[in-house]
Chains A and B, each alone.
Chain A
Amino acid sequence: MKKSVFLGALTVAGLAAGAAAAGTIDDVKARGKLNCGVTTGLVGFAAPDANGEWGGFDVGVCRAVAAAVLGDPNAVEFVPTTGKTRFTALASGEIDMLARNTTWTFSRDVDLKFEFVGVNYYDGQGFMVPKELGVSSAKELDGATVCIQTGTTTELNLADFFRANNISYEPVPIETNAEAQPLYLEGACDVYTTDASGLAATRAAFENPGDHVLLPEIISKEPLGPLVRHGDNEWGDVVRWTLNALIAAEELGVTSANIADLSASAGDNPEVNRLLGTEGNLGEMIGLDADWAQKAISAGGNYGELFEKNIGENTPVGLARGLNGQWTDGGLLYSPPFR
């Protein structure tokens, strides 16, 4: 039976090969579901709740794209990926897009043949140490044991930083953030290093968060963003401009509360009108309905709302906007104009 199933699968594979030649956007529409790669679990960014519903900041991007393309924020098949399986899953076509706090780097973009469509979170690698260690700067960490996730850019950044400062360290390799917490708390390592957002989330879950400090040094740039495969520019445009729509909506003051009123008829602000499809034909250009951006924003709110709901200061993760504020507020978020 195994043999026949295998041969059957090969036959089906042969038939499907013809269909797969069409663009990703047509595949997604034909399937009626978006296959979105997410992490197997990161506090605030992506995790299923007690009812099995995925939620989080990265998940919000998936839902916005699904809403823009298919009109339904729940038409998403979340495919959990680990740091090791994420790129093959995308390259092989198992998923249509990857929204998994993945750092945009030269080699991933150029060599691995992916297309980063933008940045949804500007992160940077930081250090957390117990207060009783009495360290106030990362440069005093000579000879420290450091817990670090393998297979990530943080590993390489750490080596670069310590070499540049001519100090030594002892790495303690770990697989996931969940493993790092007990190791760090038991004192298996003096320092835990990962993206500053992850450190904040980890510290928030400690019994006594006040006993641990984040060091001031941020030793790397970690622009995290969604990505798609090289070579399918139509699909890349859809994901890129859905993300831009969320960012622009915050800048233009379009929220999930007032979006129904704003999109009922054309208003005074022409850019809002173009964004929401009450004026112009941007939807037609991108190959979607005129109200695509409206649906994307309604899915979970604009960028600021997604941020506040999942990782903002009122959540257990408790991140400040910082670099991720709008450019008008001194942050780095700057959506190209909808014109």
Chain B
Amino acid sequence: MDNKDIFYVREQMLPEQAPPATQSGIVKWMRDNLFSSWFNSLLTLVAIYFVIKIVTGAFPWFANGVWVSNSLAECREILQGKTGGCFAVLTERWHQLLFGFKYPDDQYWRPTLAFILLFVAVSPVLFIALPRKMLIFTGLYPFLAFWLIWGGTILIPVLVLVGFIVGYIIFTRLEAQSFAMAALGGIIGAAVIWALSGFVTSAASGVLALEAVPSRDMGGFMLNMILGVVCVSLSLPIGILLALGRQSSMPIIKWICVVFIEFIRGVPLITLLFVANVVLAYFLPPGTNFDLILRVIIMITMFSSAYIAEVIRGGLAALPTGQYEAADSLGLDYTQATRLIIMPQALKISIPGIVNVAVGLFKDTTLVSVISMFDLVGMIRGPILASTEWNGVYWELWLFAVFLFFVICYGISQYSQWLERQLHRGHH
């Protein structure tokens, strides 16, 4: 090759140089994101101004906070006119905020243990990677949690569980002959066991008995958790059944589901709660005490299952008809097709909607404070703000409630996003 016309040839690579200061690191990031035009720069400056205002305003309130005192008046004495939160209300009344004011304080370990075990019980449902054997514990958990929280003899939950098992065994034995007969047989079998167990438990009420705590003594954040967890886990299966029922070709089932869903969705939750608390008491004879928590659980479950049914129906409608036809062409019957082909896809589509309903439902449990139940909000609005010591403390208490609810709801939301990524089957 003849190179003599070329005056200069670089024979070595230049070492890499750092990019210009304006095109790298924090400076570039700020130029791109905060000061990309004069208008954005202006907005950034305004935002910085407000952030500084809020932080400098709120910081002394937290930093000067009083954590030990017996009343608001004492807090004000300690602060001597300085800005500062009176967090002593939290240190003095934390147990009332978490467990209500009547749960016996030497028994707090029971709901706490139930709360910890809740994570063990739900984790195999939430994370498919965990061993499937853990599902046995999940099945046992409701009975264990009932025993821990309400107390009494362990025979009650055990016999209820036995009733379920007997019913299930009868159902599987008869299922081959007829589904309806099997279901009826299972229900009768379970009912017989429960009727008999009434005699057993009243005779042997001391077997492995924890101190019994009546429902009206439940309160605080524990009550929100009980209502939220029970109602979400009950309303999901009921919602699936309702959604399938609404799509059914059998007219009576279809119309029952349609009327139920449309009626419940047309009524505000607070009305249903008033019905549970007030109107049912008129229908039942005087002196009857039909457990208030149970009444509320039934009403909230009905409410949220109607919403979940509509969310899942949306998922069912989004499936291409080809999926139904493919299932039919494989020779699967209705149950198999629904279980193996339709539901897994429909539920995946419905995840954001279901989580939305679940988060909303969990926050709606605070509405029970209106029917004089002392959940977290009820505790704050009622007893604590009405005590002579803490009358007038607002921010500290409400921020605590906000914090608790945010932790739970943000956790649920993060999980659902993770699950969506896990179940993603597209190729983008």
Contact = CB atoms under 8 A, between A and B. Distances in A.
B96 A40 contact: no
Interface in A45-64: 46-50, 52
Interface stretch (B177-185, B260-268, B310-318, B375-383): B375-383
Given A41-B386, A47-B388, A81 B381 contact: no
Nearest to A182: B394
Contacts of A80: 372, 374, 382
Interface stretch (B16-24, B275-283, B356-364): B275-283
Contacts of B190: 1, 4
A173 B298 CA distance: 31
A245 B102 CA distance: 31
A264 interface: no
Contacts of B287: 16-17, 19-20, 27, 93
Given A82-B372, A181-B392, A5 B381 contact: no
A42 B383 CA distance: 8
B196 to A, nearest CB: 13
B372 A13 contact: no
Contact of B288 (A1, A13, A48, A49): A13
A41 B388 contact: no
A258 interface: no
Contact of A9 (B274, B290, B386): B290
Given A82-B372, A88-B282, A5 B294 contact: yes
B215 to A, nearest CB: 12
| B interface, over-half SS | helix
A52 B96 contact: yes
19 contacts: A1-B190, A4-B194, A12-B288, A39-B386, A41-B387, A43-B387, A43-B388, A44-B388, A47-B388, A48-B383, A50-B387, A80-B382, A81-B372, A88-B281, A91-B282, A92-B286, A178-B381, A178-B385, A205-B72
Interface of A: 1-2, 4-6, 9, 12-14, 16-17, 19-20, 27, 39-44, 46-50, 52, 77, 79-82, 84-85, 88-89, 91-94, 175-179, 181-182, 201-202, 204-207, 315-317
Contacts of B92: 50
A176 B282 CA distance: 26
Contacts of B370: 82, 84
Q: What 9 pairs between A and B have smallest CB-CB spacing? A: A41-B386, A93-B286, A40-B382, A92-B281, A17-B285, A178-B385, A20-B287, A205-B392, A41-B382
| A interface, over-half SS | mixed
Of B164, B194, B277, B286, most buried by chain A (CB within 10 Å of CB) is B286
B93 interface: yes
B61 interface: no
A304 B288 CA distance: 37
Interface residues of B, number: 45
B371 A85 contact: yes
A20 B381 CA distance: 34
B392 A9 contact: no
A91 B286 CA distance: 9
A91 B391 CA distance: 31
A89 B281 contact: yes
Contacts of B102: 48, 52
A85 B372 contact: yes
Of B281, B370, B371, most buried by chain A (CB within 10 Å of CB) is B281
Contacts of A27: 287
B100 to A, nearest CB: 8
